Amino acid sequence: MTAAPPAVRVGVDVGGTKVEAVAIDAAGGILARMRRETVRGEAGVIASVSDAVARVAAEPGVGPVAAVGIGIPGQIVGARVRNAVNLGISDLDLGGEVTAAVGAAVHVENDVNAAAAGAYAIRGAVGASMAYLNLGTGIAAGIVHDGRVWPGAGGTAGEVGHVSIDPRGPECPCGQRGCIETLAGGGAVARRWSGDGEHPVLDLFDAADAADGRALSLRGDLARGVAAAVRVLVLTADPAVVVIGGGVSRLGDRLLDVVRGELRASSERSAFLTSLRLHERIELLPSDAPAGALGAALLAPAFEGVARG
Ligand SMILES: [Zn+2]
């Protein structure tokens, strides 16, 4: 018998502007939580993550850290992060660098898959499967099946943002046209609405409520895109619930209402789609829930609960 390792794990969610960290105990309960700015660039991200780990570990009642999980955008190959364009990373051994800096085992995970694991833990009582649909600058989903995040053969599972639903639609950076992300991604919506405000999607919804024709049309596109993502997820993975999170989800019921309306309308002529009760399967992640950081912590090495499939 070997001695039990220290039970504390830290999860870090690396976003374009903020890094959020949580420390959890063996049961997955949150002991401490902190946020700081993200410094971009490879050295900046390593320093931001290492500092977040050190600061959350220094909180009262946390103590030595057994393992660290990191959720970060980009392609994840082992412990390396590739093509995280918004963070200024082209190819970085993030796991190796953070292990060297903090002296704990590190697991690196795609940010949306980490958030899916966190959303699953936060949601509780969800049945065998759940999908987490992240509506941020881009759109992607994580699929949790039998309590495990399902990454697919090459990490592409859940990339619903690049399902094309309009071959004549706007060009997508991925090379296709009319991807769901071009209609409903926060970045694309902000560019198309071209409002000057700090919260362009919120401004767009306000303008649509005030009956601005262009805003109504763009809000309709957004609802069609999100509804299509929900349909794709239900028809491929049949999750009991699709939990919607990400920056755009902070619109709350204003978002749910238009997406539910679109799901109902698009099911109207199909007894099959009606039978799936799509509009009843969607719900919002609580807006302040640290799903990404919690999920990253749960996916850190040696945790016995939700684990990477
Ligand atoms: Zn695309």
Residues 149 and 254 in one domain: yes
The answer to whether residue 272 sits within a structural domain is yes
In the prediction, which pLDDT does 309 show? 39
**Residues with C-beta atoms within 5 A of ion ligand 1:** 162, 172, 174, 176, 179
Residues 164 and 261 in one domain: yes
Cβ atoms of 49 and 98 closer than 8 Å: yes
User: How many Å lie between the centroid of ligand 1 and the Cα of residue 156?
Assistant: 13
CATH number, domain at 111? 3.30.420.40
The answer to whether residue 90 sits within a structural domain is yes
The answer to whether residue 250 sits within a structural domain is yes
User: How many Å lie between the centroid of ligand 1 and the Cα of residue 171?
Assistant: 8
The answer to whether residue 308 sits within a structural domain is no
In the prediction, which pLDDT does 164 show? 97
Cβ atoms of 131 and 242 closer than 8 Å: yes
User: How many Å lie between the centroid of ligand 1 and the Cα of residue 51?
Assistant: 35
The answer to whether residue 1 sits within a structural domain is no
User: How many Å lie between the centroid of ligand 1 and the Cα of residue 146?
Assistant: 29
User: How many Å lie between the centroid of ligand 1 and the Cα of residue 236?
Assistant: 19
User: How many Å lie between the centroid of ligand 1 and the Cα of residue 34?
Assistant: 34
In the prediction, which pLDDT does 98 show? 97
Residues 208 and 97 in one domain: no
Tally of domains in the chain? 2
Quote the domain boundaries for residue 25.
9-115+289-298
Other Cβ atoms within 10 Å of 175 Cβ, number:
8
Residues 88 and 160 in one domain: no
Task: Please give the average pLDDT of every successive group of 10 residues along the chain, which has 309 residues.
Answer: 69 95 94 96 98 96 94 93 92 97 95 96 84 95 91 86 95 94 94 83 95 97 98 96 95 97 95 96 93 96 50
Beta-bridge mates of residue 284: 244
User: How many Å lie between the centroid of ligand 1 and the Cα of residue 222?
Assistant: 15
User: How many Å lie between the centroid of ligand 1 and the Cα of residue 168?
Assistant: 13
Residues 271 and 294 in one domain: no
In the prediction, which pLDDT does 4 show? 52
In the prediction, which pLDDT does 306 show? 44
The answer to whether residue 306 sits within a structural domain is no
The answer to whether residue 309 sits within a structural domain is no
Q: How far is CA 162 from CA 124, 148, 166, in A?
A: 29, 23, 11
Residues 130 and 279 in one domain: yes
Residues 278 and 294 in one domain: no
Residues 246 and 143 in one domain: yes
User: How many Å lie between the centroid of ligand 1 and the Cα of residue 159?
Assistant: 9
Residues 279 and 294 in one domain: no
User: How many Å lie between the centroid of ligand 1 and the Cα of residue 3?
Assistant: 49
Residues 98 and 188 in one domain: no
User: How many Å lie between the centroid of ligand 1 and the Cα of residue 299?
Assistant: 28
Residues 19 and 134 in one domain: no
User: How many Å lie between the centroid of ligand 1 and the Cα of residue 135?
Assistant: 15
Residues 98 and 15 in one domain: yes
In the prediction, which pLDDT does 168 show? 95
The answer to whether residue 87 sits within a structural domain is yes
